[in-house]
Amino acid sequence: MAYMRVINRDRYIRNGLREAKTNKEYITKLKKDGYATEDDYINHLDLIIKRYKKLGLFQ
C-alpha cells in the first residue's frame, strides 16, 4: 500500500507514469521523477524483469 501511495502522487501522474506502455518506460519515468536514486536503477530492474519473465514469474 505504501508503494501505491507513492506512485499516485501528483508528480508521477503529472509526468505520465500511467501512460507508460512498457516496463522499461515505466521504470524510466519513476527514475526520472525521483523515485529511485540508484544510478543503475533502470538497468537493474530491467534485468530482474527479464529474469522473472524467463522463469515464467512475470508477464
- Spell out the domain ranges in the chain: 2-54
Pick out the chain residues at pLDDT < 50. Answer: none
pLDDT score, position 45? 93
Q: Is 36 left (phi over 0), alpha (psi -120 to 50) or beta?
A: beta
pLDDT score, position 7? 85
pLDDT score, position 15? 83
- Type of residue numbered 10: D
> Using CA atoms, how far apart are residues 18 and 40, in angstroms rounded to an integer?
22
59: CB partners within 8 A, 6+ apart: 53
